[in-house]
């Protein structure tokens, strides 16, 4: 798919086809990542909600300066949504993040950074249902994405660059908040995706997660 060749794509992990404990991102940067647990399945990686994680190292290409635009997309199928779960985290612990995409215990999406969290009231996620989730941050506001459609917008500037680890399925310091379920693919961009682009990405990839 031609979106893979977008020069602003700083991380692309098609977990449905990346097997083994050591994997390499399929973007221009070729980030080396280590999977702990997170067993491979035909539609992605299965996280146990306890200590499974994919560690992508510092991944400096995925650092963003304060006020810099960035976007993230991920296909998820949570086994259960009864606890807060982190999907993509650049940072360490608490709310000391460069950026964070997660699902709250109520099923709503949230974005976090050192300035705090914004909670969406309409972009909810259900257990056992494949859903594409994400956000775009223009440097001032963050807008949530669900199945290719831009949803709620909140004022939330990016918190600035960090040399902390980029992790998939768990926060930087490990449990709690580990993801419980399947992650199909993860994409991070160093720009704001347009509404047409988010919808197109969803339409191009949804066949895989039926």
The pLDDT value given to residue 10: 96
Question: What does the pLDDT look like over 125-157, one tens digit per residue?
Answer: 999 999 999 999 998 899 999 999 999 998 876
Secondary structure element (H or E) that encloses residue 200, with its range: helix 195-205
Partner residues linked to 10 by β-bridges: none
The pLDDT value given to residue 80: 92
Find the range with the poorest average confidence among 49-53, 109-113, 157-161.
157-161
- Of 206, 82, 198, the closest CA to residue 134 belongs to 198
Query: Would 2 be classed as within a structural domain?
Result: no
Question: What does the pLDDT look like over 90-127, one tens digit per residue?
Answer: 886 555 578 889 999 999 998 887 656 667 778 889 99
The pLDDT value given to residue 91: 81
d(CA 141, CA 122): 17
- Sequence-separated (6 or more) residues with CB below 8 Å from residue 159: 66, 97, 98, 99, 113, 114, 115
Partner residues linked to 47 by β-bridges: 181
The residue segments making up the domain with residue 67 are 8-209
Query: Would 152 be classed as within a structural domain?
Result: yes
Give 146's DSSP letter. Answer: E
Query: Would 72 be classed as within a structural domain?
Result: yes
Query: Would 176 be classed as within a structural domain?
Result: yes
Query: Would 3 be classed as within a structural domain?
Result: no
3 versus 60: which is more confidently predicted? Answer: 60
Query: Would 1 be classed as within a structural domain?
Result: no
The pLDDT value given to residue 66: 75
pLDDT over 80 at 1, yes or no: no
CATH number, position 155: 2.60.120.200
Total number of domains in the chain:
1
Query: Would 43 be classed as within a structural domain?
Result: yes
């Amino acid at each position: 798919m031609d979106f893979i060749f977008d020069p602003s794509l700083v991380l692309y992990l098609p977990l449905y086809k990346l097997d083994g404990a050591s994997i390499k991102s399929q973007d221009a940067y070729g980030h080396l990542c280590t999977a702990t647990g997170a067993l491979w399945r035909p539609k992605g990686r299965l996280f146990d909600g306890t200590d499974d994680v994919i560690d992508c190292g510092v991944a400096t290409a995925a650092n963003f300066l304060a006020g810099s635009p960035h976007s993230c997309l991920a296909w998820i199928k949570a086994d259960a949504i009864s606890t807060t779960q982190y999907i993509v985290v650049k940072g360490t612990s608490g709310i000391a993040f460069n950026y964070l995409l997660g699902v709250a215990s109520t099923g709503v999406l949230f974005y976090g950074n050192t300035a705090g969290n914004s909670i969406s009231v309409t972009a909810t996620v259900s257990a056992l249902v494949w859903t594409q989730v994400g956000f775009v941050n223009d440097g001032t506001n963050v807008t949530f994405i669900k199945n290719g459609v831009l949803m709620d917008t909140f004022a939330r500037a990016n918190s600035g660059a960090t040399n902390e680890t980029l992790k998939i399925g768990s926060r930087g310091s490990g449990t709690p908040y580990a993801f419980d379920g399947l992650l199909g693919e993860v994409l991070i961009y160093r720009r704001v995706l347009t509404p047409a682009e988010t919808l197109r990405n969803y339409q191009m990839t949804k066949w895989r997660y039926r």
